[in-house]
Amino acid sequence: MTPKTPSESRTTMTDMVLPSETNALQNLFGGELLARMDRAASIAAGRHSRRITVTASVNHVAFNLAVPLGSVVTVEAAVSRAYTTSMEVYIDVWIEDRYNGKRTKANEAIYTFVAVDETGKPTEVPPLQPETDLEKQRFAGALRRKQLSLVLAGKMKPNDATELKALFMES
């Protein structure tokens, strides 16, 4: 299969925060943001694989900054590494200043998607070829994140997670 770049899957969704989507502090409800990120990431995984994709796991979410009611929120997702049938998708969330348009990074997350056929059976995806420094950095860290996710899901023995173990040996 011909490799694809992250820019070929990059998906950008911009929307406002409405009152029905906020918590008691009038900030965006965490579950609402998770859903927005899942949608953008699903489109990105679909663009990379040109297949039906399902969310296999949410590997990491950092709610660093609250997102107030009325904010203009941009969710940007792109495949950061592809394996045999699974893809890691990195998601960045930005808030846009209403008056000067300046964007502030609010949150980020990492999801894993699997490409499947019409019967739900995992199917092969193209490899990923990172281009920019950031894409290369995310690509390089992805294997240990996959191993951590598989170990936590009980699908890999900790002893077999060689990349992950190496991370702890280094320091």
Ligand X SMILES: CC(C)(COP(=O)(O)OP(=O)(O)OC[C@H]1O[C@@H](n2cnc3c(N)ncnc32)[C@H](O)[C@@H]1OP(=O)(O)O)[C@@H](O)C(=O)NCCC(=O)NCCS
Q: Kindly state the smallest distance separating residue 62's Cβ from ligand X, in Å.
A: 18
Q: Which residue is nearest to ligand X (CB)?
A: 83
* Contacting residue, 52, 83, 144, 165, with ligand X by CB under 6 A: 83
The structure tokens listed for 3 are 């490799």
* Helix spans in 54-132 (H): none
Binding mask 43-72 for ligand X (x = CB under 6 A): -----------xxxx---------------
Cα→Cα distances 169→73, 80, 139, 156, 165, Å: 39, 25, 20, 19, 6
Residue 142 makes contact with ligand X by CB under 6 A: no
Residue 153 makes contact with ligand X by CB under 6 A: yes
SS3 of 161, please?
coil
* Contacting residue, 7, 23, 26, 84, with ligand X by CB under 6 A: 84
Stretch that binds ligand X, among 8-16, 92-100, 101-109, 110-118 (CB under 6 A): 110-118
What would the 3-class secondary structure string for 27-43 be? EECHHHHHHHHHHHHHH
Cα→Cα distances 124→47, 51, 109, Å: 14, 9, 24
User: Burial, 104: exposed, middle or buried (Cβ in 10 Å; 0-12, 13-18, 19+)?
Assistant: exposed
Residue 31 makes contact with ligand X by CB under 6 A: no
Stretch that binds ligand X, among 2-10, 11-19, 66-74, 150-158 (CB under 6 A): 150-158
Summarize as ranges the residues that interact with ligand X (CB under 6 A): 54-57, 83-86, 112, 114, 116, 120, 122, 146, 149-150, 153, 155
